[in-house]
Amino acid sequence: MAGELMRIEDFIDLAKKGKDVHLEIELDKQSVSQKLHPGDSEEEKSEMEMYLLIGNYVFEVDRNVNKVSKVYVYGSTQEPLNASKINVSIANVRLKMDYKRLKEGNIKFEEKYF
């Protein structure tokens, strides 16, 4: 079963079919570097520092633990503060949509936001 369950929807379907699905949510901000093609930026940098806001969903079904990670937004570490705040807001709205689907599937969990 571990290799078959790859999406949040898979666990929602299991819960709707009566399986006991436990869920823990961990939020993460990861820094990454994006390689740029020569001439893509004014400063001629070869890399751009980026960040990802990620939701890590740790599902447990019949003692099998599966982790599903989902990127909610990405941005540049060079962006203005107001753009960062907007990205966090967008990520939180997207989280709320997933939380709604999980609740409709009768999966209980603690809501967390960025």
For the chain, what are the domain ranges?
A: 8-104
User: How far is it, in rounded angstroms, from Cα 36 to Cα 28?
Assistant: 25
Q: How confident is the model at residue 1 (pLDDT cuts 50, 70, 90)?
A: very low
Torsion sign, CA atoms 29, 113, 54, 3: positive
| pLDDT reported for residue 47 | 81
**What pLDDT digit, counting tens, does each position of 5-60 carry?**
689 999 999 999 999 999 999 999 999 997 776 665 555 567 889 999 999 999 99
| pLDDT reported for residue 88 | 97
Can you point out the beta strands (E) in the chain?
21-35, 47-61, 64-76
**What pLDDT digit, counting tens, does each position of 47-106 carry?**
889 999 999 999 999 999 999 999 999 999 999 989 999 999 999 999 999 999 999 999
| pLDDT reported for residue 46 | 74
